[in-house]
A = this chain, B = another copy of it.
Amino acid sequence: MTLSVYLSGEIHTNWREEIMEGCRAAGLDVAFTGPVTDHAASDDCGVAIMGAEADKFWHDHKSAKLNAIRTRKGLADADIVVVRFGEKYKQWNAAFDAGQAAALGRSLIVMHCLEHQHALKEVDAAALAVVETAQQVVQCLTYVQRGTLPSTE
């Protein structure tokens, strides 16, 4: 049973690598996907390929749509969508991905620090697990795939 996991949200810390490394170390059979995490490329991909725009709205629009091709594929193929909300920024795209994942019936794991708990209550309410650390995500995936808990591994 390979698990397909899409890692959505915050792109400024190395939480994706921590999760992927943790799963590798545990020997799990997980296929990870996620958005393009090169911030500049993600912002400018549309105009870089399809031509410059004078208006910032359309500059962003072209890139957001091109990125959506990757996001849609990732969400469509995923069994589990992990969405991390970082400490900073609006991160509406993370919540938007979570909404799509929920409506598509994907299992949702939300990862955020305590201070965001109240603001994320609607997202958490749609999740099957709410965690704070990458290690907890690894432990969840380990349990889902093997049925073993941290203390018994």
Contact of A69 with B124 in the complex, beta carbons under 8 Å: no
Determine how close the nearest CB of chain B comes to the CB of A144; give it in whole angstroms: 5
- Closest residue of chain B to A44 (Cβ to Cβ) is B149
Sorted nearest first, the 6 A-B pairs with minimum C-beta distance are A99-B99, A103-B103, A95-B95, A36-B147, A64-B125, A60-B121
Report A's interface with B, CB cutoff 8 A: 1, 3, 33, 36-38, 41-42, 44-46, 48-50, 53-58, 60-74, 76-77, 79-80, 85, 89-105, 107, 109, 116-131, 136, 139-140, 143-144, 147-152
- Can you pick out 24 interface pairs between chain A and chain B where the beta carbons lie within 8 Å of each other? A36-B143, A48-B150, A48-B151, A49-B150, A50-B131, A55-B55, A57-B117, A57-B130, A58-B58, A60-B117, A61-B125, A65-B128, A68-B128, A69-B80, A70-B144, A72-B105, A72-B107, A73-B80, A76-B79, A93-B95, A96-B102, A97-B99, A98-B99, A103-B103
